Structure 1
């Protein structure tokens, strides 16, 4: 079991929730938190930009990263979407087991 947290942002709540539901439905994520909109300030193509975005926290297993990255890129309107994977080094054992149980794909 290699639990990870994947972080991304979407430009609107509806597209964020569409991805979240797809990930949980396909057992690629045990849980996805769609947070309150935030304002992101960033440099893009030599300009300082700002955008309201909906952050997503995706709880999953390391083995699903590539498929999740592909789905984000396919469903995201940005040319370069944020996709960051952070290892979960420790946590409540029962919760980590739940992540494993919910994201174990069966054929």
Structure 2
């Protein structure tokens, strides 16, 4: 199992995405968070099919920081149930992975 992972989380707007991203990096919970605007999400919520514009966050982090990152997202996120998907990083440049680790510890 990898020590490193990507976390996917959508936000309703650029402001909430920036707030979460900035706090995650400032608190060393993520080495980097990409903010990708322009998503259109189609999903089922409370029995209805919804369509919304969203912003995707992609956080690169060290697995030991996941619980704290989840707590931060839960506290700052405006959704009742924010997206929280953790993907293992199978491999990567050793120097980049070292940077992730040093930036989050």
Class of the TM-score when normalised by the shorter of the 2 chains: over 0.9
Mapped to 1, the partners of 2:75 and 2:41 lie a distance apart of 22
| Alpha-carbon offset, residue 36 of structure 1 | 1.9
Give unpaired runs (5+ residues) of structure 1: none
Mapped to 2, the partners of 1:62 and 1:4 lie a distance apart of 6
Between Structure 1 and Structure 2, how many residues are aligned?
104
| Alpha-carbon offset, residue 37 of structure 1 | 2.1
Give unpaired runs (5+ residues) of structure 2: none
| Alpha-carbon offset, residue 77 of structure 1 | 1.1
Moved over 3 A (4+): none
Q: Does 1:45 align with 2:46?
A: yes
Q: Does 1:84 align with 2:82?
A: no
Q: Does 1:61 align with 2:57?
A: no
Q: Which residue of 2 aligns with 1:7?
A: 8
| Alpha-carbon offset, residue 23 of structure 1 | 0.7
Q: Which residue of 1 aligns with 2:97?
A: 96
**What is the Cα-based RMSD across aligned positions, in Å?**
1.0
- TM-score, normalisation: structure 1: 0.93
| Alpha-carbon offset, residue 99 of structure 1 | 0.3
CA deviations over 1:35-90 (Å, ceiling 9, x no partner): 12200000111110011110000000111111111111111111111011111110
Mapped to 1, the partners of 2:78 and 2:21 lie a distance apart of 15
- TM-score, normalisation: structure 2: 0.95
